[in-house]
């Protein structure tokens, strides 16, 4: 199993290209199930989760073809992929595939809408909370689906097709919003989704679906209106830049020091994050082609942050911010409100010498002058990259184990950081 070795202390200087957003790419790929024509996705990141979803979609009969590189492109540039679901050959998503990635459960919406049936294993994924699929199931039921849980599978039927309806989520859910929105595009009549997620990835999916012929209004707000259409066509769509990757590298620069341009980043996707980083002492400049992040000489200031659904501070950057705050000049507080079990990185950060105390959903971080490199173990996708951030500023050598978590969501992380001066390398087992 691969490891990542880091020798801390080097500032970061240069340019880091920002990849297409994983959290947008996955639902966009699943949307290909809604049409028998070709959906072309540009700027698709090269990630383990993307490769796994190719396998899952192939099980349903979706063909994919990766287009060749254009002049000036390299492995840091997103790939262009054609997806074709001309014929759905199987409406079952088996446990052995779905259990590896939670987002694959979302195929239940398009399969049900297009084929009138779906049998999808209840999901697995990284252990950062229960994250039940109740909202998915209740939402689809409000569109007329009959859904039973049989042997660990959600068995959904709508033999006469889905019908528009009013879907109200008791709590904001990005995955459920994605799923119900996709299903409603082919439902008969109008659908209103209330208390919808507002994340940029929701609006990105809506733009793609609209290009395919869907009729959607209000995506990006808490109320989405969808008028069903008989069929969707193919389209070409570019995946938006990854705001979580952007925030992660911005925090890495704030931690290690230096001057880095995050090429292709979009500042308006993470206003709350950039405000927090400015409060921590980083200099942030918004450019036409990205974001410039600097921290030269000035120390890190403590912050008070509570995670929240968009446009608040994202839970997917909570671990990275905590790593940054371990060297702040004072006491910081981070409150996690989205997932009940997302502080598993705390014990690993403590191995660097970090001073972190947990009280329920709030972590109190007292900054220390020095972190010392240590062998550490990744516990989930975002926690794993927080250990990399700590390692960049720690004295001596750090080894991050179980880096397959990193490969799920960060494209060529060690290459991007080493190009900017970090002493970091992947060690193959």
CA torsion 183-174-200-229 (nearest 10°) is 10
CB atoms within 10 A of CB 274: 20
Inter-residue contact 263 to 17 (CB < 8 Å): yes
The per-residue pLDDT for 130 is 45
Q: Which CATH superfamily is domain 26-238 in?
A: Enolpyruvate transferase domain (3.65.10.10)
Structure tokens at 319: 């671990």
Contact partners, residue 350, CB within 8 Å, separation at least 6? 356
Mean pLDDT of the chain: 94
* Residue 98 in marked binding region: no
* Residue 104 in marked binding region: no
Q: 3-15+241-427 has which CATH code?
A: 3.65.10.10
Contact partners, residue 169, CB within 8 Å, separation at least 6? 135, 139, 176, 177, 193, 194, 195, 196
Is residue 187 predicted with pLDDT exceeding 90?
yes
Inter-residue contact 183 to 143 (CB < 8 Å): yes
Half-sphere exposure of 138 (CA within 13 A, CB side): 12
- pLDDT average, residue stretch 79-96: 96
Phi, psi for 356 (deg, rounded to 5): -130, 130
Residues constituting the chain? 429
The per-residue pLDDT for 99 is 87
For 287, the enclosing helix (H) or strand (E) is strand 283-287
Is residue 380 predicted with pLDDT exceeding 50?
yes
CA distances from 297 to 57, 119, 136, 175, 424 (A): 49, 57, 49, 42, 22
Q: How far apart are CA 179 and CA 103, in angstroms?
A: 10
* Residue 63 in marked binding region: no
Inter-residue contact 59 to 97 (CB < 8 Å): yes
Q: What is the DSSP string of 326-386?
A: TTBSSEEEEE--S-TT--THHHHHHTTT-EEEEETTEEEEE--S--B--EEE--SHHHHHH
Write the pLDDT tens digit of every residue in 192-236. Answer: 999 999 999 999 999 999 999 999 999 999 999 999 999 999 999
Look at 41-55, 64-78, 160-174 and tell me which has the smallest mean pLDDT.
Answer: 64-78
The per-residue pLDDT for 124 is 56
Write the pLDDT tens digit of every residue in 148-172. Answer: 999 989 999 999 999 999 999 999 9
Q: How far apart are CA 5 and CA 398, in angstroms?
A: 6
User: 241: which strand partners?
Assistant: 20
Look at 68-82, 190-204, 250-264 and tell me which has the smallest mean pLDDT.
Answer: 68-82
Closest CA to 263 of 287, 283, 284: 287
Could you say which DSSP state residue 105 is in?
A: G
* Residue 372 in marked binding region: no
Instruction: Determine if the peptide bond prior to 212 is cis (ω within 30°).
Output: no
The per-residue pLDDT for 142 is 97
The pTM (predicted TM-score) of the whole model is 0.94
* Residue 69 in marked binding region: no
Look at 14-28, 264-278, 400-414 and tell me which has the smallest mean pLDDT.
Answer: 400-414
Closest CA to 373 of 354, 359, 356, 347: 354
Structure tokens at 323: 């790593």
* Residue 56 in marked binding region: no
Write the pLDDT tens digit of every residue in 101-110. Answer: 888 999 999 9
Catalytic-labelled residue, pool 16, 126, 319, 354: 126
The per-residue pLDDT for 128 is 34
Q: How far apart are CA 414 and CA 422, in angstroms?
A: 8
The per-residue pLDDT for 125 is 44
More confident residue, 296 or 255: 255
Inter-residue contact 208 to 179 (CB < 8 Å): no
More confident residue, 74 or 4: 4
**For the chain, domain boundaries:** 3-15+241-427, 26-238
Closest CA to 322 of 304, 309, 341, 337: 304
CB atoms within 10 A of CB 89: 11
* Residue 22 in marked binding region: yes
Decide whether 3-15+241-427 matches 26-238 in CATH topology.
Answer: yes
Q: How far apart are CA 351 and CA 386, in angstroms?
A: 13
- pLDDT average, residue stretch 394-417: 93
Could you say which DSSP state residue 10 is in?
A: -
The per-residue pLDDT for 376 is 96
208 part of the active site: no
Inter-residue contact 65 to 58 (CB < 8 Å): no
Decide: helix, strand or coil at residue 158: coil
Q: How far apart are CA 358 and CA 343, in angstroms?
A: 9
Is residue 126 predicted with pLDDT exceeding 60?
no
């Amino acid at each position: 199993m691969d490891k990542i070795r880091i020798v801390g202390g080097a500032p970061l200087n240069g340019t880091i290209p920002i990849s297409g957003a994983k959290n947008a790419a996955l639902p966009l790929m699943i949307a290909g199930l809604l049409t028998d024509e070709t959906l072309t996705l540009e700027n698709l990141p090269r990630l383990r989760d993307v490769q796994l979803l190719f396998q899952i979609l192939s099980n349903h009969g979706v063909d994919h073809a990766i287009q060749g590189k254009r002049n000036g492109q390299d492995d840091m540039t997103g790939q262009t992929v054609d997806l074709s679901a001309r014929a759905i050959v199987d409406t079952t998503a088996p446990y052995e595939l779905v259990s590896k990635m939670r987002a694959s459960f979302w195929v239940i919406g398009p399969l049900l809408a297009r084929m009138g049936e779906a049998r999808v294993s209840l999901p697995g994924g990284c252990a950062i909370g229960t994250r039940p699929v109740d909202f998915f199931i209740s939402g689809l039921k409000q569109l007329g689906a009959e859904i039973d849980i049989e042997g660990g599978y959600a068995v959904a039927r709508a033999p006469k097709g889905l019908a528009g309806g009013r879907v109200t989520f008791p709590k904001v859910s990005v995955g459920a919003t994605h799923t119900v929105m996709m299903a409603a595009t082919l439902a008969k009549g109008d659908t209103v989704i209330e208390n919808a997620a507002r994340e940029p990835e929701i609006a990105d999916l809506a733009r793609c679906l609209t290009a395919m012929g869907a009729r959607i209004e209000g995506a990006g707000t808490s109320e989405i209106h969808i008028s069903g259409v008989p069929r969707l066509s193919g389209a070409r769509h570019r995946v938006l830049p990854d705001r979580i990757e952007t925030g992660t590298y911005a925090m890495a620069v704030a931690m290690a020091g230096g001057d880095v341009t995050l090429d292709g980043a979009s500042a308006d996707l993470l206003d709350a994050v950039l405000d927090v980083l400015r409060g921590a002492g980083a200099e942030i400049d918004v450019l036409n082609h990205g974001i410039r992040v600097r921290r030269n000489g000035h120390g890190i200031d403590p912050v008070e942050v509570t995670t929240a659904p968009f446009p608040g501070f994202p839970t997917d950057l909570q671990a990275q911010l905590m790593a940054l705050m371990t060297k702040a000049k004072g006491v910081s507080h981070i409150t996690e409100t989205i997932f009940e079990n997302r502080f598993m990185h705390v014990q690993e950060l403590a191995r660097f010498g970090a001073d972190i105390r947990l009280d329920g959903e709030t972590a109190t971080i007292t900054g220390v002058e020095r972190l010392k490199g240590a062998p550490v173990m990744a516990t989930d996708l975002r926690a794993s990259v927080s250990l990399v951030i700590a390692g960049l500023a720690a004295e001596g050598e750090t080894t991050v184990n179980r880096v397959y978590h990193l490969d799920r969501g960060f494209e060529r992380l060690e290459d991007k950081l080493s190009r900017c001066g970090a002493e970091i390398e992947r060690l193959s087992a």
